[in-house]
Amino acid sequence: MKLADYSSDQRLTATVNQSVRITPQESDAEIRNITLDVEGGGLATTIGQSIGVVVPGPHEFGHSEHFRLYTVANTRAANASENGSNTQIEICVKRCSYVDEFSGERHKGIASHFLCDQRPGDQIIVTGPYGLPFKLPEEKSADLLMIGLGTGIAPFRAFVRHLYEHLGGWEGRVRLFYGAKSGLELAYMNDQQDDFVNYYDEETFAAFTAVSPRPHMDDPVPLDEQLSRNQEEVWDMVLKHDTHAYIAGLEGMLPQLDIAFADMAGSAEKWQRRKAELIAGQRWTELIY
Ligand SMILES: Cc1cc2nc3c(=O)[nH]c(=O)nc-3n(C[C@H](O)[C@H](O)[C@H](O)COP(=O)(O)OP(=O)(O)OC[C@H]3O[C@@H](n4cnc5c(N)ncnc54)[C@H](O)[C@@H]3O)c2cc1C
């Protein structure tokens, strides 16, 4: 679905409650966890969904306003804000800049800079929610395979918390594969702040991280290698009748995953057949941007 297809007509005001940098200062990447209080209890979201942010213009290229999506990083249970009727939403935003291919000039991403510059008490315009929620199997014995890249960790932060804190007693294997350019850029999972630390003791939970060997050279994040290293278990999960897989992050990760899974399957055709079965059974969900 193209961005222009998302309606931004229903608008709500949100007040920035907190903005915390979750990558260490020495990291080149600034990723922030931003907590929003949405007026009047609107915008109740479910895991896997995103909200829209409208940045008032005018902007450089003449558009009167700028609209971008951000995935919700907290659970529905945490949506009820402390101060009564508002909805509390957390988003994980990476401050982005882009280099113009022709001029070589560096441009600031409009919405990501706007959001990262907000301070507590500031008000912004939000819309949504958008996208299908991550479908959770009914049986707690089902295996869950989560694969995320960069800010694609946001829905999994909410998901894992939901499984172990709200539902409790998840019996199936939960495996999180998470990649970022460098250890410092592992959002919610770096040396300074690890929001998953409470779950490492859970018998059913395991997380595997992958970082680029040469982060300054724009090498791809070797998520595929991490999957291959664990291929016996991963492929066993993929073949199980009730496993659900969730993929979140930048589009560029998909070909890499296809190659890794094709290798496990024995051929690209076999993998595409299995993937089609998973998709048909609503057991393969992508949140890709
Ligand atoms: C479903 C979904 C969920 C998402 N979830 C998240 C999330 O959880 N966290 C997150 O950080 N992001 C998320 N994103 C991405 C996010 O929506 C934005 O795309 C991202 O923050 C960049 O937006 P921006 O406004 O900062 O950049 P923009 O201003 O939109 O710039 C982006 C593009 O415009 C070009 N560009 C920008 N400025 C110039 C210029 N001056 N001259 C020439 N070209 C220029 C760049 O080449 C680039 O391609 C998600 C996207 C989708 C679709």
pLDDT tens over the chain, length 289 residues: 788 889 988 999 999 999 999 999 999 999 999 999 999 888 889 999 999 999 998 887 778 899 999 999 998 655 554 555 678 999 999 999 999 889 899 999 999 999 999 999 999 999 999 999 999 999 999 999 999 999 999 999 999 999 999 999 899 999 999 999 999 999 999 988 899 999 999 999 999 999 998 888 878 899 999 999 999 999 999 999 999 999 999 999 999 999 999 999 999 999 999 999 999 999 999 999 9
- Specify if 136 maps to a domain: no
Q: Are 227 and 175 in contact (CB under 8 A)?
A: no
Q: Is residue 21 situated within a structural domain?
A: yes
Residue 53 lies in a domain: yes
Domain of residue 105, residue span:
3-130
Let me know whether 90 and 189 are in one domain: no
Domain membership of residue 137 (yes or no) is: no
**Residue minimizing CA distance to atom 7 of ligand 1:** 70
Closest residue CA from atom 5 of ligand 1: 70
pLDDT tens across 117-162, in order?
999 999 999 999 999 999 999 999 999 999 999 999 999 999 999 9
Give the distance (Å) from ligand 1 centre to CA of residue 76. 25
37 and 169 fall within a common domain: no
Q: Are residues 153 and 106 in the same domain?
A: no
Task: Report the separation in Å between the CA atom of 112 and the middle of ligand 1, taken as the mean of its atom positions.
Answer: 7
Global pTM reads 0.94
Residues 242 and 166 in one domain: yes
Residues near ligand 1 (Cβ within 6 A): 50, 60, 66, 68-71, 91-94, 96, 98, 100, 107, 109-112, 131, 151, 154, 289
Question: Is residue 23 assigned to a domain?
Answer: yes
92 C-alpha to center of ligand 1: Å?
Answer: 13
Report the nearest atom of ligand 1 relative to the CA of 60.
41
Q: Which atom of ligand 1 is nearest to the CA of 100?
A: 43
Domain count for the chain: 2
Q: Which residue CA neighbors atom 48 of ligand 1 most closely?
A: 98
pLDDT of residue 52: 97
* In a domain? residue 139: no
Q: Are residues 262 and 173 in the same domain?
A: yes
